[in-house]
């Protein structure tokens, strides 16, 4: 049994109330599934701007299938918006732990629409901080972003060294961290930020104009459509499977290590995969899984404004202070992800 499996077993013996904002999204619905399996009570808040009711339904269905128990009674959904303080206050009532995932993601989206990105990611974040503080929640864990590293050239990325933001989205995520710091020093409110590095896995939408690269490419290949790569394909990322991110959220919420609180952490593998390598890995698996698919070269486009060329995370801080041990490599994560999309698309 791994350390996280031991942690999970212990967590399942002590029921708490958790709030997941953005519960209808990709990461939020995976958190919902895991918490229900672990016998926790969950409140979900979402306005369906980018999330889907089907994600919630599938999360509950999968949790019940894996646990062999009816679990829907342990979940309460609030159709609300983090930009509305009253919705946040209602959602935080009686909550022990907040996992704040709600945001308008995507660097290109923020370049196209900086005002709405700012409203959701800064105004909404502040509303959630205030509501959580006033409700005396035990811990506020929030989705930060690797975009915060901006133009800092060092690899791997270390939490204490950041550069200048390269997009409106990156600005909003940096502001989140600054607000969390201020709430820690001013109010003694306990927060932990998780800088996600290219999280991927089941229930990640392939259809949005701003879809992440892995689901977008899987969907395109399965439908025999063109795949586009921004740049020459040597751009690299630290792709991290969703179960590793779920682990970090739970460890951050429940840690009793005082030195671990009011910090930010990288959520990644300390690995680097180029877009050319990623395309080959995805295509090979899909051809193996589905008959009739043939190899097809991707179309190369100009490098995208606001993106960084290379990204890789140092995860030693998360290991040392939170006990993080990623359970899935990129190849293991892709195997599970592609199996899911082949069955569900």
Count of other CB atoms within 10 angstroms of residue 263 = 20
Catalytic entry in 97, 169, 265, 279: 169
CA 245 to chain centre: 6
At how many degrees (to 10) do helices 124-134 and 85-92 cross?
Answer: 40
- Residue 83 DSSP one-character state: T
Reduced 3-state DSSP string for 186-223: HHCCCEEEEEECCEECCCCCCCCCCCCHHHHHHHHHHC
Euclidean distance between CA atoms 283 and 281, whole angstroms: 6
Using DSSP, state whether 325 is helix, strand or coil.
Answer: coil
187 is catalytic: no
CA nearest neighbour of 334 among 297, 267, 271, 281? 281
Peptide bond preceding 87: is omega within 30 degrees of 0, i.e. cis?
Answer: no
Q: Kindly provide the residue ranges of all beta strands, DSSP E only, lying in 268-330, ordered along the sequence.
A: 273-274, 299-301
- Residue 114 DSSP one-character state: H
* Residue 112, C-beta contacts closer than 8 angstroms, at least 6 positions apart: none
Which residues are known to be catalytic? 169
């Amino acid at each position: 049994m791994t350390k996280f499996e031991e942690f999970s077993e212990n967590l399942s013996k002590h029921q708490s109330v958790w709030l997941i904002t953005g519960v209808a999204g990709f990461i939020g619905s995976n958190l919902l599934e895991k918490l229900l399996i672990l016998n926790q009570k969950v409140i979900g808040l979402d306005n369906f701007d980018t999330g889907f009711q089907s994600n919630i339904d599938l999360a509950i269905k999968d949790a019940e299938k894996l646990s062999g128990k009816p679990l829907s009674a342990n979940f309460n959904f609030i159709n609300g918006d983090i930009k509305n303080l009253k919705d946040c206050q209602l959602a935080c009532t009686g909550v022990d732990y907040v996992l704040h995932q709600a945001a308008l993601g995507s660097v290109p989206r923020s370049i196209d629409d900086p005002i709405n990105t700012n409203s959701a990611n800064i105004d909404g974040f502040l509303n959630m901080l205030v509501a959580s503080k006033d409700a005396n929640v035990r811990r506020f864990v929030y989705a930060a972003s690797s975009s915060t590293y901006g133009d800092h050239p060092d690899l791997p990325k270390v939490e204490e060294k950041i550069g200048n933001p390269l997009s409106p989205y990156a600005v909003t995520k940096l502001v989140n961290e600054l607000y969390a710091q201020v709430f820690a020093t001013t109010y003694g409110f306990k927060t932990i930020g998780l800088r996600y590095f290219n999280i991927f896995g089941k229930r990640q939408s392939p259809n949005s104009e701003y879809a992440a690269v892995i689901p977008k490419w899987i969907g395109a290949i399965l439908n025999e459509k063109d795949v586009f790569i921004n740049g020459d394909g040597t751009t690299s990322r630290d792709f991290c499977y969703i179960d590793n991110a779920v682990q970090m959220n739970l460890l951050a919420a429940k840690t009793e290590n005082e030195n671990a609180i009011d910090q930010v952490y990288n959520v990644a593998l300390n690995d680097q995969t180029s877009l050319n390598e990623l395309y080959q890995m995805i295509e090979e698996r899909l051809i193996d899984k589905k008959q009739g698919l043939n190899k097809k070269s991707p179309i190369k486009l100009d490098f995208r404004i606001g993106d960084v060329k290379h990204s890789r995370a140092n995860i030693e801080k998360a290991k040392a202070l939170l006990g993080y041990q990623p359970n899935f490599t990129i190849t293991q994560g892709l195997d599970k992800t592609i199996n899911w999309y082949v069955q569900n698309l």
